[in-house]
Amino acid sequence: MKLNRFFIIIIILALIVIFITGCNSYEYEKDLYNDKIKIITTLFPQYDFANEIVKDKGEVKLLLPPGVEAHSYEPTPKDIVDIKKADVFIYTGKYMEPWAEKMIKEIDDSTIVIDISKGIELVDEEDWEHNHEHHGKDPHIWLDPVYAQKIVDNILEGIIKADSKNENFYRQNAENYKEKLAELDKKFVETFSKVKHKTIIHGGHFAFGYFAKRYGLEYISPYDGFSPNAEPTPKKISELMNNMKSLGLNVIYYEELIDPKVAKIISEETGGKMLLLHGAHNISKEELESGISYIEIMESNLDRLKEGLGYDE
Ligand SMILES: [Zn+2]
């Protein structure tokens, strides 16, 4: 009888210990994994913007693997599972990611979905006087530093919905970051008021329409449409070379992450110098490892545009 009682006490004590340590390890895991808001983004700019807002209170994942061309990207089944498990999913809009539109219908309320183009008036393809056959809209809003500030607001709003307890922290970070974007915009305004030429000749796809419009520049690309998948015709390429000659321009810009064969042809034919104009859709493995930011990409673009358009201090 005494022995039985002794065992019962031991068992009760053991259960108490298991219960307490169990609770502790649960708390510990919660701190490590569950407290941070989990965010998945499609393109690099929203990845960078979301990181600027959440800092160490969130884990932001870029859906596109480094070096992958954004327009031809299709999510894997694992990507879809990850998105459904995330607290926040950020995408560019239906014209950039048509697959996201369908997928969103299957997502439940536990994932906040942010369309970064909300409240931004997208331009029809034909309105750029560039193409008259397609009927899509231009998705490249992130390349306009003023729209980038609106994008930060859209992302902030969604993140607060998903994690309201850190609202003040997120708001402050977003404000600080928008100030940097406003400074970037100011640099572009000042620079382009002093350039000799006002035309950007781009051997890549039509990505800088909003950017050029913002700063009163002309922008010429031989591509039809807003994707690099449909290659330009010889007629378009020769028109572009004629434009370059008549305007006295000697730089041909090429785009990131794609073999710049069109720019190369133009460079060889005209003797023009090839310079990168980075569209920031995605970044390379080296850029990811170096911790490159959207602002750094845009500042490098600014330096190369100074060179191509002729800038006098
Ligand atoms: Zn593009």
Give the CATH number of the domain where residue 211 resides: 3.40.50.1980
Domain termination site, one of 166, 182, 198:
182
- Give the total number of structural domains in the chain: 2
**67 exposed, middle or buried (CB, 10 Å; 0-12, 13-18, 19+)?**
middle
**59 CA from centroid of ligand 1 (Å):** 26
What is the arithmetic mean of pLDDT over 206-225?
Answer: 93
Question: What is the pLDDT, as a whole number, of residue 27?
Answer: 42
Instruction: Kindly state whether residues 44 and 116 are assigned to the same domain.
Output: yes
Claim to verify: residue 178 and residue 194 sit in the same structural domain? no
User: pLDDT tens, 11-42?
Assistant: 666 666 555 555 444 444 444 455 899 999 99
| Burial per residue of 158-193, b for 16 or more beta-carbon CB atoms within 10 angstroms, e otherwise | bbbebbeebeeebeebbeebbeebeebbeebeebbe
Q: Residue 102 belongs to what domain range?
A: 35-182
Q: Where are the beta strands (DSSP E) in 23-83?
A: 37-41, 58-62
With respect to residue 15, please indicate whether it lies within any of the assigned structural domains.
no
Tell me, yes or no, whether 174 and 204 share the same domain.
no
Containing 234, the helix (H) or strand (E) segment is: helix 234-247
Average confidence (pLDDT) over 34-54: 95
Residues 258 and 274 in one domain: yes
Distance from the alpha carbon of residue 152 to the mean position of ligand 1, in angstroms = 20
Whether 30 is in a domain gets the answer no
Spacing, Cα 305 to ligand 1 middle (Å): 19
Q: What is the mean pLDDT of residues 94-110?
A: 91
Residues 96 and 194 occupy one common structural domain:
no
Does a structural domain hold residue 24? no
For the chain, the average pLDDT equals: 89
Distance 308 CA to ligand 1 centre (A): 21
Measured in angstroms, how far is the CA atom of residue 104 from the centroid of ligand 1?
A: 22
Report the separation in Å between the CA atom of 96 and the middle of ligand 1, taken as the mean of its atom positions.
Answer: 8
Alpha carbon of 313 to ligand 1 centroid (Å):
32
Q: How many CB atoms lie within 10 A of CB 207?
A: 27
- Does 96 fall in a domain? yes
State whether 303 and 275 are in the same domain: yes
177 and 210 housed in the same domain? no
How much distance in Å is there from the Cα of 28 to the middle of ligand 1?
Answer: 43
CA of 243 to the centre of ligand 1 (A): 23
Question: Are 114 and 203 within one domain?
Answer: no
Residues 116-131, mean pLDDT to the nearest whole number: 80
Q: Are residues 105 and 209 in the same domain?
A: no
Domain boundary among 182, 213, 235: 182
